[in-house]
């Protein structure tokens, strides 16, 4: 019975990750075929980065209880650097506009599904790390660390959209990132946009994750195998 429950949980986990992604990719392919254009195909790359954040969280959780500190650190920082990509897709609405290619409502719905996929995957990636953090650091400290992670991700979304940072720039251009960070923190009044966007995304992501956290807590109660 326990094996059956685990199999059901694994199935539910992968369906939750993949269902909105498949739906979003399907709508995009319909758009490509219907319009004979490649508009919005960059969303597939954004979706791939989002899925990579979930994969990094799974690998970090896998090595969490093993005596391989180097792999824990590698996948932890990989997860941390990739996580903003999950929520970043909401900003792709800036590309939305009336075109002669296809009905505007179609594009709105398609982008909504991509953003939904990203947020679901982001919440799952946070949850995967949140649970072992509670066991290791305690409930209060774990909640605080996740909150700080959401704040950092919100700031990274702003930097990615307006300064065009990518996750891999942390390795390729660390000096530039350090300069931008220090200038933002030392002169916050010159960056009203960054403060506003970070605050808006922090509230949005936090609200979504709190709903996801309490929703996930109901699963053991509603899926008991008798």
pTM of the model: 0.82
CA end-to-end span of the chain, whole Å?
A: 8
pLDDT at residue 9, rounded to an integer? 65
Handedness of CA 112, 113, 118, 123 (dihedral sign): positive
Helices in 84-191 by DSSP H: which ranges?
Answer: 84-88, 104-137, 139-162, 169-172, 174-186
What is the Cα 199 distance to its own chain's centre? 17
**pLDDT at residue number 125:** 94
Tokens in use for 3?
Answer: 């094996």
CB-based contact 130:146 (threshold 8 Å): yes
How confident is the model at residue 179, as a pLDDT?
64
How many structural domains compose the chain?
A: 1
Q: How much is the pLDDT for 225?
A: 36
Residue-level pLDDT at 8? 62
Residue 115 phi/psi, 5-degree rounding, is -65, -40
Residue 187: helix, strand or coil by DSSP? coil
Q: What is the pLDDT of residues 164-204, one digit of tens each?
A: 767 666 666 666 667 666 666 666 656 677 888 999 999 99
> What pLDDT sits at residue 195?
83
Tell me the average confidence (pLDDT) per consecutive run of 10 residues in the chain, 226 residues long.
52 81 94 90 93 92 77 88 93 82 88 95 94 88 95 90 69 65 64 84 96 79 42
> Per the structure block, which two tokens stand in for 66?
């093993």
Q: Which domain holds residue 202?
A: 2-222
């Amino acid at each position: 019975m326990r094996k059956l429950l685990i199999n059901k949980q694994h199935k539910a986990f992968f369906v939750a990750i993949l269902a909105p992604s498949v739906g979003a990719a399907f709508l995009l392919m319909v758009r490509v075929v219907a319009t004979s254009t490649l508009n919005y195909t960059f969303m597939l790359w954004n979706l791939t980065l989002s899925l990579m954040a979930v994969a990094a969280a799974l690998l970090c959780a896998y090595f969490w209880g093993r005596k391989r500190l180097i792999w824990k650190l590698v996948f932890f920082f990989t997860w941390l650097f990739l996580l903003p990509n999950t929520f970043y897709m909401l900003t792709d609405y800036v590309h939305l506009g009336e075109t002669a290619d296809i009905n505007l409502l179609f594009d709105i719905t398609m982008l909504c599904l991509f953003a939904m996929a990203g947020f679901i995957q982001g919440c799952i990636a946070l949850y995967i790390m949140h649970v072992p953090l509670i066991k290791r650091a305690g409930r209060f400290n774990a909640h605080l660390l996740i909150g700080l992670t959401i704040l950092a991700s919100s700031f990274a979304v702003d930097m990615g959209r307006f300064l065009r940072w990518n996750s891999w720039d942390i390795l390729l251009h660390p000096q530039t990132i350090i300069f931008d960070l220090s200038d933002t923190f030392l002169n916050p009044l010159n960056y009203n946009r960054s403060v506003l966007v970070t605050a808006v995304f922090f509230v949005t992501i936090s609200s979504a994750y709190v709903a996801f956290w309490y929703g996930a807590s109901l699963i053991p109660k509603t899926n008991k195998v008798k």
